[in-house]
Structure 1
Amino acid sequence: MDSHRSEDSAHLGARLVDGYLRRLGTGRPPRPTAAALSELHLRQLLTVPFENLSVQLGERIVLEERRLVEKVVEKRRGGFCYELNGAFGTLLAALGFEVTFLAARVFGAEGRLGIPYDHMALKVGTADGRTWLADVGFGAHSHHPLRWEDRGEQKDPGGMFRIVEAADVDAGDLDVVKNGSPEYRLEVRPRALGDFVTGAWWHSTSPESHFTRSLVCSRVTEDGGRITLSGRRLKETTPEGGDMERELVTDEEVLGVYRERFGIELEQVPEVRAAGADRLG
């Protein structure tokens, strides 16, 4: 699979595409330009939260384009990397951008790399012939797409980023670096959405995955900061680095924050559950 084009996602139909754009608070761009991509990327980060609620609520995670978009549009939910970048890539393809799914492995403690298909990112081509790295599924990452060919520093509201050749491999892999620290190693070979099923299953079920051991719901705020709800702890960060944290005491407070700050309606407060249940289908 070299790329997803608009005809590949035409089955979404105008209703889902327009509904997605309404969720983002923006209109349909007349052309798939770099400026349109940057606007869509930022609007996604502002409105569709990075969250692992499905893992803890026992909801099935389905890596199919239409189902991912329906989760964003009809259920008013977010997701983790496979869901967020899968849905966003599907939207971009429907709008005429050239989109390629890429696999990555996240750097952990002491520089150790995670499992294969640990993370999904997007390579996006725009109408001006330029290519970009788009990633709306890594949590605190760049607010705007990064220039694919640029090997120098790229300043972004989310930090200082670089895309560099991986030094210890000869397969053409790239390291994505933020503020001097490597975040993930990106493979340049195109992948299909279905290739990530095993990675999503592992992150949804393994006791070694941080997604099964924690609760998180997070998005960029309008001032360029970030708001994050981890279990019952609410944290708000300003662009200048100031933090405000408080513990939410009642279930009503927790559900209210999900509803008012993240646009997510829940019937019950999610809690961390035991890993090992099959939640992928």
Structure 2
Amino acid sequence: MDVDDYLARIEYSGPKNPTEEVLKELCWAHVTHVPFYTLDLFGSGERKVVKLESIYRKIITDRVGGMCYELNAMFNWLLKELGFKVNVIRAESTMASNSNRQSSDGLIGGHLTLVVEFPHGKQKIADVSSLALPLDLDTEEPQDQRNTKARVLKKICNEEKNWYFYVEKLSRTVIDVKEIESVGDLKQVKGLEWNGRFRFPLQASNSKIEDFQINIDASQDNENSEFRQISFCVLQTALGMKALICKNYLGKEYVDDYRETKTTKLIPEDEDIISILRKKFGVVLNHKLDLPDHQNNIF
């Protein structure tokens, strides 16, 4: 595994010292070049294994994408090679689409995220599957994601009586400007919603990458797994995002803090899907796709 090849894959040529600014630019380079996707669950016949060598071959050599376990595991390796102090954190999804799919053993809906430590106790979440830029853990104010906003809230879980960090992203809606009571104050804008992404305990301990194999096995084998129901391939863009969800191509452009535009197009033919993957996502698959027909509004 080679750091320079990794940086070339994400087209990053900036500084490599372990600073907050470098972390931000590495995250952005990653989410705009390496798709968050589940396509190899639909037709490849291969089982996912949380081993760095196989993930590196898939993402860097074969130039495709991966699930959170793969993307963040690989990004963790890169950051440590560059001198960052990184903790691998076991989290759980709080997305609405996963809320009704939790398995009795808690394995469905699991999530791997990273917390990067800097001098003077400062900590940032770095997650190249769910976030575009790092998030400070020491504020609950909305934070810039370059193409949207996100925030981290400290909440107590009523069932467990434990405190958690909850990560949420802004969900824009098309609203009339008359509904804006105070421009610039997101809390005063009627119609805006914050959607849950994931949560983890305030006192979360550092995990090992291989500890997540049980989660990825459940995601592959359990029929309740979101990853078995919906195929997706997602890349962030400067103005929004682009995604192939099942057989639908979705494009989002964020107009401002309050509005976004969406375009959706059904792509029924396999050859057209392959073409879109190559042109829009830079992905060339070495297996035939067997995608589900329906679409779920997960992005």
**Shorter-chain TM band:** 0.7 to 0.9
Q: 2:28 aligns with which of 2, 18, 42?
A: 42
Give me the identity figure in percent. 25
Q: Distance in 2 between matches of 1:171 and 1:190?
A: 18
Cα distance, 1:170 vs. partner? 4.5
Q: Does the Cα contact within 8 Å between 1:19 and 1:73 map onto a contact in 2?
A: yes
Q: 1:244 aligns with which of 263, 275, 297?
A: 263
Residue 78 of structure 2: aligned partner = 91
| Aligned pairs (5 A) from 1:15-34 | 16-27=2-13, 29-34=15-20
1:191 matched to 2:178? The reply is no
Amino acid at match of 1:204: Q
Alignment RMSD (CA, Å): 2.3
1:76 matched to 2:63? The reply is yes
Q: Does the Cα contact within 8 Å between 1:255 and 1:269 map onto a contact in 2?
A: no
Amino acid at match of 1:207: E
Q: Distance in 1 between matches of 2:91 and 2:100?
A: 13
Instruction: Identify the range of structure 1 (186-195 vs 120-129) with the bigger mean alpha-carbon deviation.
Output: 120-129
Q: Distance in 2 between matches of 1:103 and 1:51?
A: 20
Residue 94 of structure 2: aligned partner = 107
Q: Distance in 2 between matches of 1:112 and 1:210?
A: 10
Residue 128 of structure 2: aligned partner = 136
Cα distance, 1:119 vs. partner? 0.5
Q: Does the Cα contact within 8 Å between 2:140 and 2:151 map onto a contact in 1?
A: no
Amino acid at match of 1:264: V
Q: 1:235 aligns with which of 250, 254, 262?
A: 250
Q: 1:182 aligns with which of 186, 196, 199?
A: 196
- Residue 67 and residue 219 in structure 1: after superposition, are their counterparts in 2 closer, same or farther (change >3 A)? same
Q: 1:207 aligns with which of 197, 208, 223?
A: 223
How many aligned positions are there? 255
Instruction: Identify the range of structure 1 (239-248 vs 148-157) with the bigger mean alpha-carbon deviation.
Output: 148-157
Cα distance, 1:127 vs. partner? 6.1
Instruction: Identify the range of structure 1 (58-67 vs 122-131) with the bigger mean alpha-carbon deviation.
Output: 122-131
1:259 matched to 2:282? The reply is no
1:53 matched to 2:45? The reply is no
Cα distance, 1:269 vs. partner? 4.3
Q: Does the Cα contact within 8 Å between 2:247 and 2:291 map onto a contact in 1?
A: no
Q: Does the Cα contact within 8 Å between 1:21 and 1:28 map onto a contact in 2?
A: no
Greater Rg over alpha carbons, structure: 2
Amino acid at match of 2:128: V
Residue 234 of structure 2: aligned partner = 218
Q: Does the Cα contact within 8 Å between 1:63 and 1:82 map onto a contact in 2?
A: yes
Q: 1:163 aligns with which of 134, 138, 153?
A: 153
Q: Distance in 1 between matches of 2:101 and 2:227?
A: 17
| Matched position secondary structure for 1:242 | strand
TM-score (norm 1): 0.82
Q: Distance in 2 between matches of 1:204 and 1:36?
A: 34
Deviations 1:128-159 (A, max 9, x none): 76321011123xxx321000222333243332
Instruction: Identify the range of structure 1 (261-270 vs 74-83) with the bigger mean alpha-carbon deviation.
Output: 261-270
Amino acid at match of 2:75: F
Gapped runs of 5+ residues in structure 2?
Answer: 171-193, 293-299
Gapped runs of 5+ residues in structure 1?
Answer: 1-11, 274-281
Q: Distance in 2 between matches of 1:126 and 1:208?
A: 39
Residue 150 of structure 1: aligned partner = 139
Q: Distance in 2 between matches of 1:196 and 1:130?
A: 26
- Residue 201 and residue 242 in structure 1: after superposition, are their counterparts in 2 closer, same or farther (change >3 A)? same
